[in-house]
Structure 1
Amino acid sequence: MKCINLKVYNLLFFLLLLSCTSNTNKIENRKKGKLQESMELAEIQTKSIVLDSNTSPKPQYIQIFEDENGLQNFTFLNTFNNSIYFYNYKTSEFIKKISYDQNGTEGIQMPLGYHIKNMDSIYIYNYSNLELLITNSKSKVLEKISLIGNHDFKKSSNVLLYYPQFFPGTSNPFIETNKELLLPAQYPRTLSDSLLSKIKFLQRVNLKNNKVTFNNVYPFSLYGNNYNWDDEIFTKVFTEIHPDGNKLIYSFPVSHDLYITTIGSDDYKVIYGGSNFAGTITSIDKKVKENTRDKIGQHIASQDLYASIKYDKFRKVFYRFLRKRITDASIHMQLKKQLIAVIIMDSNFNYLGETVIGASEEWNWQNTFVTEEGLNIEYLDRKDIAEENINFKIFIPKKIK
């Protein structure tokens, strides 16, 4: 009888312990405080580009495009007037703009990003219909490619339950290979375990026949077990092509590691790519009933979250962005107060160092790209009240003396 009671007691104790355990994923930084710094980012120059009266800083999307004459074009999307602007990157001089209708049979209602393959093949992502449009420099729409299997999501919202959505940005752009145009999308809703193996976030568009295929699911160790990552900031997938040209590198916001896959494969190689100072990243506790938007915002502000990863082929280093946690973040804490750090790694992902460049309210890290000059990051000049310029600070890695 005593033996039976002991078993019952142990079972009850186990169930009690289980019920008290928070259903959260705690992703620890196994190398925190153990890494040695040898390099830091050094600011070397500022590049300013004069804007017209219809344009403001923080454009939706930027692409550096080298034309057939070898001229390096700085291009950006102006969503106000449905135009792509072209400037000479070296001299900052305006060249031209291509404007598209917003309505009509060739209208582009909601352009969020684009990729210029050449002036006869300009791919524009129209979020209004979740489609990719092939256009030319004369503003003509040549072809339309559905990214949701030709379904009309306006008639059936359930379609969006099984397709990722592409939210392009300069920090997470289209990627062109010899055969395909890659769109690293994301699933912006809550990821349940039942969906985890079904949602493939990489959209691959064949450049010859425009066929769309899908690859790569969210890692179960990060997003499985019904962990609650109830905000799209956690499921954003930042992508860079590997220097060898046939692999992709994924930077998930909630992981100190990087996930590497061969294009077309669904297998990952996991390699450390974290910060020497970032702490444990924690999902949102499902048991907290007061998970309002303010509470979720407070939780986001209190986490170290990774972002864009960029390869610098001129210096053979990687840059990985980190949005640093705000200590003792309050419910009214604004994310623009988060400090932005840039981690430097060599071509084999060995840690070299990291530099805090400032707060998000001063640095639009979403607009970052690499040129021969260095790492370009948009700087928000508070003195430019009229918003007449878009400004970039340019950095290069230097050895710590």
Structure 2
Amino acid sequence: MTLLKTSHFIKQLFLVITFSLIYSCSNSNIGEENSPFNLRLIETKIFTLDNETPPYNADYQLSENGKKRTLSFLNARNKTLYFYDYDSRELINKIPFEAVGPKGVGEVLRSYYYHNQDSIFVQAFQHAKLYLFNSEGEKLDTYPLKAPLGNYITPFYYSNGKLVINNSVGCNSSQGNDPKPVAAVYDLKSKTFALDVDYPKEYYTENSGWPISLCNVSNAPNIEAGTDLYSFAMSPEVIVTDHQGKYEKIDFSSSEIDQSRFATTDEMPLDPLDQAKLAGRYAQYGAIYYDPFQKYYLRFANEPIPESRMEKRIFKPIQNIIIKDENFNTLGEVKDFEGSHFFFFTKEGLNQISVDKDNEGLMVINVFDYEK
């Protein structure tokens, strides 16, 4: 079953589209205290990695085929997709990609999307192309990408013959009136794309005064509802779109984040380490997710990194997670959540990728249940 024959597969929840002037204020709770919410650890699953695979990788995806659940991820170091049986925890397949030759994808792979075993997309960063492979590693098709598209970050997904791609660009690198898109909608049949929703100017103009690392946009598709949420690092609001004309702003703020800290700065260091230090002094919003099993939205709200940590080059902030239901009613906020922000979801609960501090050859998955 190829991708182009499964146009009914998903409705969308991913990025942002045509601007309308209808903003939703009914869910606003800025300045209000979010009630406490807990995540209760119910299980820890251990997966064995090979000696080429680091503990953290790119874009964990869970797929289900009958009773079998498969967890996949991209190891960017060796340009290989790994597939594990989620329940038995056994490695069941690897798809290595070559840099050159007929199946070559270049030296850099940034992201992928697994639709089914005959339709696996990978983003060839240096080639400015998307390639379609099957599970045997055979290249089936090529989809050219053109400027002004930039650095793609996942998730991207397929719906009605099109891929919707989240596009993250440096905020302070705007040239002239070139658009800075959040989303690109790619028509696989015609091999053309349309840009969908520019960054608000305050996120990318030369006068924005924000470190480049604050400019990435996180998104969370709700396939069942056919909508996408977009989260900007410096905004208490998220954008909800269906890429067909719907556009709303929804408050998704944290009671733990002081909005007055969202001030601009004239300091724009070139060194990446100095940029990380500068960004760490800001409170900012992080990754956003949708749990299709519980029908919850989750958004990270990160407090400024204490100076004592930054002196030790520890750039991990204090993480809080705001949780809303599918109607954007706030259920509560998890305070000071430990560990990574790499999530995927199963019927059992929230799955967080973690590591074994004593053995980097293991991938640890902590499974959490929601607890008000």
Corresponding residue of 2:354: 379
Q: Distance in 2 between matches of 1:396 and 1:39?
A: 11
What amino acid sits opposite 2:186 in the alignment? V
Helix, strand or coil for the counterpart of 2:293?
A: coil
Q: CA deviation at 1:322?
A: 2.2
**Alignment of structure 1 residues 285-324 onto 2, 5 Å:** 285-286=265-266, 288=267, 295-324=274-303
Corresponding residue of 1:177: 159
Q: Distance in 2 between matches of 1:395 and 1:261?
A: 29
Structure 1 length-normalised TM:
0.77
| Counterparts in 2 of 1:244 and 1:220: CA distance versus 1, 3 Å | farther
| Counterparts in 2 of 1:212 and 1:230: CA distance versus 1, 3 Å | same
Q: CA deviation at 1:185?
A: 0.7
8 Å Cα contact 1:200/1:214 also seen in 2? yes
What amino acid sits opposite 1:393 in the alignment? N
Q: CA deviation at 1:273?
A: 0.4
8 Å Cα contact 2:218/2:286 also seen in 1? yes
| Superposed CA offset, 1:219-263 (max 9, x none) | 2355558312231x2221111123653322101111111111221
1:239 has 2:214 as partner = no
How many residue pairs get aligned? The number is: 343
Q: CA deviation at 1:272?
A: 0.6
Considering fraction of residues, name the structure with more helix: 1
**Alignment of structure 1 residues 82-93 onto 2, 5 Å:** 82-93=79-90
| Counterparts in 2 of 1:306 and 1:187: CA distance versus 1, 3 Å | same
Helix, strand or coil for the counterpart of 1:297?
A: helix
| Superposed CA offset, 1:236-295 (max 9, x none) | 111112365332210111111111122144x73111101111012425423x48786555
Once the two structures are aligned, what percentage of the paired residues are identical? 25
Q: Distance in 1 between matches of 2:309 and 2:46?
A: 36
Q: Which has the higher contact order (CA 8 A, sep 6+)?
A: 2
8 Å Cα contact 2:143/2:188 also seen in 1? no
8 Å Cα contact 1:132/1:146 also seen in 2? yes
Runs of 4+, deviation exceeding 6 Å: 289-292
Q: Distance in 1 between matches of 2:200 and 2:268?
A: 27
Q: CA deviation at 1:111?
A: 1.7
Corresponding residue of 2:258: 279
**Alignment of structure 1 residues 209-224 onto 2, 5 Å:** 209-220=190-201, 222-223=203-204
| Counterparts in 2 of 1:333 and 1:304: CA distance versus 1, 3 Å | farther
User: Unpaired runs of 5+ in structure 2?
Assistant: 1-27
Helix, strand or coil for the counterpart of 1:190?
A: helix
Larger Rg: 1
Corresponding residue of 1:190: 172
**Worse-superposed segment, 203-212 or 299-308:** 203-212
Corresponding residue of 1:44: 42
Corresponding residue of 2:366: 393
| Counterparts in 2 of 1:244 and 1:167: CA distance versus 1, 3 Å | closer
What amino acid sits opposite 2:364 in the alignment? N
Q: CA deviation at 1:91?
A: 1.8
Structure 2 length-normalised TM:
0.83
| Superposed CA offset, 1:326-368 (max 9, x none) | 2457874635331222221121222222223545xxx231x21
| Counterparts in 2 of 1:163 and 1:95: CA distance versus 1, 3 Å | closer
User: Unpaired runs of 5+ in structure 1?
Assistant: 1-29, 149-158
Q: CA deviation at 1:117?
A: 1.5
8 Å Cα contact 2:302/2:319 also seen in 1? yes
| Counterparts in 2 of 1:330 and 1:89: CA distance versus 1, 3 Å | closer
What amino acid sits opposite 2:159 in the alignment? T
1:250 has 2:230 as partner = yes
Q: 1:364 aligns with which of 321, 327, 340?
A: 340
1:339 has 2:339 as partner = no
Q: Distance in 2 between matches of 1:37 and 1:142?
A: 50
Q: CA RMSD in A?
A: 2.7
8 Å Cα contact 2:113/2:121 also seen in 1? yes
